[in-house]
Amino acid sequence: MSRVSLRRSFVTRYATIVSLTLGGSIAICLVAIAPLKVGLALVAVMAWAMLPGVIIARRLYGAQRGTSGASLLVGPVWGFATTSLVLLALWTIGVRSAAVLALAPLGAVLLAIPASRLAGALDLPSFDRRDLLPVLLVLAVVPLVVGRPYARVGEMRPEGKAYRAYFTADFVWAMAVVAEVSKGDVPPRNPFMRRDRLHYYWLPDLLSAIEYRQAQHRASTEQILLTNALMLDLAFMAFFYFFVRHFVEKPAAAAIACTSAVLFSSFEGLQQLVALWWLNAPLHLVTNLNIDAVSRWIFGGMPIDGLQRLLLYQPHHATAWGLSLSALLVLLDARDPARPSVNLVAGGLLAIGLLLSSFLAVMIAAVIALCQLVSLLPGRRWNRLAVAGLMGAIPIAIAVWVSNALHYVDRSGGSLVAVGRLNPTAAHAVPTVIFLSFGPMLLGAAAGAYLAARRRAGSLAVAGAMMLVSAIFYFFVDVRDHQHVYVGWRAGHLLFMALAPLVGFALQDLWAKGPRARLLTTCIGALVALAALPTTAIDLYNTQDTSNRRMAPGFHWTVILTPDELEALKWIRQTTPTNALVQIEPSVRDPETWAYIPAFAERRMVAGLPISMIPLRKYQDASSEIRDIYRDDDSRTIWMEARALAIDYLVVAPAERDTYPRLESLLDAAPQWFRPVFRNRSVTIYSVLFPRAASRGHSLYSSAKSS
């Protein structure tokens, strides 16, 4: 047998082993999330939604060698996005039939017809059997990162249902969005503000909302969201490999770079372990740290989340990165980047990315504009540049119009983003923060940049453009009402994705220099990875540790919904009208159980304090009125104020009972205005009666009025 045959046999054997292991790991994750039948059904739905992207990619790339593998890598992200777009169109015109909505992927496939007209206009790297094993290893990162944490989201413990604090920010918010969107209003109502629309990019959650609406409680929001997140994470990692392979010829080097960007990205964990050892303090204290935000917590700088957190909590952002960076790759792959049709496709991908996650699409738009200027200006092709820009801008303009029509942005509070002034948080302890947050990847990328410059690898200039845009946004753009830190998360992700190709290039170039260079590269790489591993290891342990009930600054590390609370929340879901206004006291629940009613009871409130919504002032003002109701000592005044705000139900749960111990007896003493419709050991729910209902002794108010 020849050496080539032996190598192919080796690769095939290990690819089979890895694929079986990967399949088993994913199956274990699914079973931990939901019953097998439910999980398989959700996977089938997501696979059906992703399929159009594979067909579109194959048509776009034509019969070029290696396009079959490429379409499988980039297609799932495209498929989910285009199917979501068709679902949005159907949902907006009032289609609620499950049979019709299930045909949405067929509508998305129609995009393959115009895509096929560009066949031959793009040059791709060749993807063949050499990529199989590296791709499988990259995909294996997903169950490694999310498997245990996903299995413990909403875990039932003796004291109640547990949610780790990290997940209450993104996952519980997604639960609230899915519950609201599933009700069918377009645009959706704002569950945290009466008579308001949901000012949020909710398109990534539309498929989950439709699944939840059609499931008729056979699957919970947690099961749907976690299963879909698992699938989207796999799609993102496949795309990430596809992205890095555009700049790195060797599949193994590309796979190591992708894996390193997720698992070995930060020195923050090592820094804290060394600091505790130096202080002779117990090392287990790292379990009480938001370890991937040490740059913020300890040094007061900008917090940077590693890509492992993108997989854990933000599949919608991961998908938007895939769409937006695909627009960049289309222009890089184009034989003529000024061709109008090529720019129309790139603009279309970027436009869908904007509807999935607006801010990061704007960042990639800046990268694309910079690359196009550098590419087309030296030849003074002014006319072609203008035409290219116009064609790319058309779908983006449509996306902006759609986002405005859907009320994505709340314009009631003036400007939400500050541009041009130095962000004071970003400017604090810059060398320390940058080195701790990005150090491992920066070291490898610096070597890659040096080697690329020596070899004049011009394609990697794109990574430089991404790094430049990331730095500009990091230092000079600030989203108000997010403690000056929001941009750091998005800019950090962009920088990690820019550094990965440089790391891969360094690996492949050094590996080609001979045995000594390989040994040195392996030793140095292993040491850097070992130094970076504590951050990810600590973060993944903390993320799944629902036994930690200790206090963080202002909140518990694990939020517990007691059996009494779960019973009350279930009663609200099953008994009250879907458009009822059910109110808790927001200020005593901030920042822990701010989504108590919208996420777990799936009902709207008159006012709340959502940590994901800006501007905050109107929520704070409205919540202060609710606080006045709860702390008033006159039942008639409470009733009048509650009726003026159109509150249907007042909830007195443990948080309200502890803060306002006299309130329950006060309401019980006024049955003409407040009727207890649910009560257990720790939760009481009162119906706020209409005057006529109070005078005639009617039962609880249950009209289906619009809020």
Given a contact cutoff of 8 angstroms between Cβ atoms, the answer to whether 87 and 56 are in contact is no
Residue type at 265?
A: S
* Spatial separation of the C-alpha atoms in residues 227 and 52, rounded to whole Å: 20
- Angle of helix 141-151 versus helix 3-33 axis, rounded to 10: 10
Q: Is the pLDDT of residue 640 over 60?
A: yes
Q: What is the mean pLDDT of residues 278-291?
A: 95
Structural domain count, the chain = 2
Residues 6 or more apart in contact with residue 79 via CB below 8 angstroms: 49, 50, 51, 52, 53, 54, 56, 105, 108
* Spatial separation of the C-alpha atoms in residues 672 and 697, rounded to whole Å: 7
Which tokens in the block code for residue 153? 């989201």
If you search the block for the tokens 């290990």, which residue do you land on? 14
Given a contact cutoff of 8 angstroms between Cβ atoms, the answer to whether 268 and 294 are in contact is yes
pTM, 2 dp:
0.94
Q: Is the pLDDT of residue 54 over 80?
A: yes
Q: Has residue 2 been placed in a domain? A: yes
Q: What is the mean pLDDT of residues 161-190?
A: 94
Q: Is the dihedral of CA 265, 153, 616, 549 positive or negative?
A: negative
Residue 692's pLDDT band, with cuts at 50, 70 and 90, is: low
Tens digits of residue pLDDT in 75-117: 999 999 999 999 999 999 999 999 999 999 999 999 999 998 8
Q: Is the dihedral of CA 491, 323, 352, 92 positive or negative?
A: negative
What is the model's pLDDT at position 189? 97
Least confident of 145-159, 277-291, 405-419: 405-419
* Residue 651 Ramachandran class (φ > 0 left, ψ -120 to 50 alpha, else beta): beta
Residue 702's pLDDT band, with cuts at 50, 70 and 90, is: very low
What is the model's pLDDT at position 167? 79
Q: What is the mean pLDDT of residues 375-398?
A: 84
Choosing from 196, 220, 245, the residue where a domain stops is 245
* Spatial separation of the C-alpha atoms in residues 482 and 480, rounded to whole Å: 6
Q: Has residue 307 been placed in a domain? A: no
Q: Has residue 199 been placed in a domain? A: yes
Q: Has residue 17 been placed in a domain? A: yes
Residue 69's pLDDT band, with cuts at 50, 70 and 90, is: confident
Given a contact cutoff of 8 angstroms between Cβ atoms, the answer to whether 506 and 457 are in contact is no
Examine residue 591 and say whether the peptide bond preceding it is cis (omega within 30 degrees of 0). yes
Q: Has residue 112 been placed in a domain? A: yes
Q: Has residue 635 been placed in a domain? A: yes
In terms of C-beta density within 10 A (0-12 exposed, 13-18 middle, 19 or more buried), how is residue 391 classed?
buried
What is the model's pLDDT at position 695? 44
If you search the block for the tokens 């111990």, which residue do you land on? 661
More confident residue, 659 or 376: 659
Residues 6 or more apart in contact with residue 386 via CB below 8 angstroms: none
Query: What residues are paired with 583 via a beta bridge?
Result: 650
Tens digits of residue pLDDT in 192-219: 999 999 999 999 999 999 999 999 889 9
Residue 704's pLDDT band, with cuts at 50, 70 and 90, is: very low
Q: Has residue 445 been placed in a domain? A: no
More confident residue, 384 or 237: 237
* Spatial separation of the C-alpha atoms in residues 477 and 96, rounded to whole Å: 40
What is the model's pLDDT at position 7? 60
Give the percent of the chain with pLDDT over 90: 81
Choosing from 245, 273, 295, the residue where a domain stops is 245
In angstroms, the first-to-last Cα distance of the chain is: 75
The CATH number assigned to the domain holding 690 equals: 3.40.50
Residue 590, SS3 per DSSP: coil
Examine residue 187 and say whether the peptide bond preceding it is cis (omega within 30 degrees of 0). yes
CA dihedral 52, 53, 54, 59 (to 10 degrees): 90
Comparing C-alpha atoms, which of 197, 8, 328 is closest to residue 618? Answer: 197
Which tokens in the block code for residue 496? 């990690």
Give the percent of the chain with pLDDT over 70: 95
Q: What is the largest CA-CA distance in the chain?
A: 95
Beta strand 160-164 with 155-157 is antiparallel
* Spatial separation of the C-alpha atoms in residues 606 and 613, rounded to whole Å: 15
What is the model's pLDDT at position 9? 65
Q: Is the pLDDT of residue 529 over 60?
A: yes
* Spatial separation of the C-alpha atoms in residues 25 and 153, rounded to whole Å: 18
Choosing from 217, 245, 273, the residue where a domain stops is 245
Residues 6 or more apart in contact with residue 274 via CB below 8 angstroms: none
Tens digits of residue pLDDT in 216-266: 889 999 999 999 999 999 999 999 999 999 999 999 999 999 999 999 999
Given a contact cutoff of 8 angstroms between Cβ atoms, the answer to whether 509 and 518 are in contact is no
Q: Has residue 316 been placed in a domain? A: no
Tens digits of residue pLDDT in 114-161: 998 888 899 888 898 899 999 999 999 999 999 999 999 999 999 999
Residue 498's pLDDT band, with cuts at 50, 70 and 90, is: very high
What is the model's pLDDT at position 386? 85
Comparing C-alpha atoms, which of 488, 594, 548 is closest to residue 289? Answer: 548
Q: What is the mean pLDDT of residues 584-606?
A: 95
Mean of pLDDT over the chain:
92
Tens digits of residue pLDDT in 437-482: 999 999 999 999 999 999 888 888 999 999 999 999 999 999 877 7
Given a contact cutoff of 8 angstroms between Cβ atoms, the answer to whether 176 and 198 are in contact is no
Give me the domain span that covers residue 618: 562-696
What is the model's pLDDT at position 200? 93
